[in-house]
Amino acid sequence: MRVLVAGATGAMGRQLLPRLVAAGHEVHGMTRSESKQALVQALGAVPVVADALDPEQVARAVAESRPEVVVHQLTAIGPMDMRHFDRAFAQTNRLRTEGTDHLLSAARAVGVGRFVAQSFFAGYDRVGGAVKTEDDPFGTAPPPGMEQTVGAIRHVEDGVLAAAWTQGLVLRYGGFYGPHTSLGPDGEQAEAVRQRKFPVVGDGGGVWSFVHIADAAEATVAAVERGAPGVYNVVDDEPASVATWLPVLADALGAKAPMRVPRLVGRLLAGETGTVMMTELRGASNARARRELGWTPAHATWRDGFRELGAQVPAGGGAAA
């Protein structure tokens, strides 16, 4: 099939493009930067330059590439700031609202048959059990300070799922780790753990779901090729509390055990948003993706993945050469 990937040079795009090419698809990679065309080509795809926030450029890019499938991976995530989460995600939120609308409009105009879009597991309502399925309430009660970000995620999901003219699939990814992510060998989150700037807040009872970026890309290829329209959690097999996974990550990175701070101190360090994510977040089940996409993560649990991550970091921190 002809597949257009919007957001072709991000952490996901770098994993996804070569996998789609290897699967026999004709891949076009949309990037905003003229200078990144060579990277798109190196990944095996045809570069398409367009600013996702410019509707005319998006319409032209989609019309020229004539895709049968569009994959929406548009993000622009800068340095993380838990105290001002929505501000840190402001550009990504525009891409998830305006950018989504432009892509959907352009895709409809050329008759795209399948539209696959990125979402995130952390929008599940923080009530009830610790592990959620796709049928549980999502995005109706976002953590304080994440209202705009969760609202933008809901905008993506609602728009894609309501598009009766195409087959819309939404992938609620777990927290990414691996190459070119913030939890990579030289990533921002990994460095914060090494410097003991990522404490366990309160009881650390917030439950997180992770997925290695390569496994997430494999699931995305599966969603391009098969699966009924709808929502799929793309996460590994082991949702876990912060109090469980964070010490394991620190050990894998050769760092001292994370500090533990009361919730009140956590609010001062990470704001209410970070505190809620550390103490109240709900994880997600991957049963539907395994069953209906035929996807099995190579990193079945973050425990395996974190050990692999740690092996890529030399003594003293920093990425391996």
- Three-state DSSP state, 169: strand
Q: What is the pLDDT of residue 317?
A: 54
Q: What is the pLDDT of residue 315?
A: 58
CB 240 within 8 A of CB 207: yes
- The DSSP line for 227-273 is --SEEEEE--S--EEHHHHHHHHHHHTTPPPPPEE-HHHHHHHHHHH
Q: State the 10-residue block means of pLDDT for the chain, 321 residues long.
A: 97 97 98 96 98 98 97 88 86 97 98 98 95 97 91 98 98 96 92 93 97 98 98 98 98 95 89 92 98 98 95 60 30
**Of 3.40.50.720, 3.10.310.30, 1.20.1260.10, 3.20.20.140, which CATH number belongs to 2-311?**
3.40.50.720
Domain borders along the chain are 2-311
Q: How far is CA 82 from CA 163, 244, 275, in A?
A: 33, 21, 9
Rounded to two decimals, what is the model's pTM?
0.95
Query: In sequence order, what are the residues at sequence separation of 6 or more whose Cβ sits closer than 8 angstroms to the Cβ of residue 95?
Result: 52, 53, 74, 75, 76
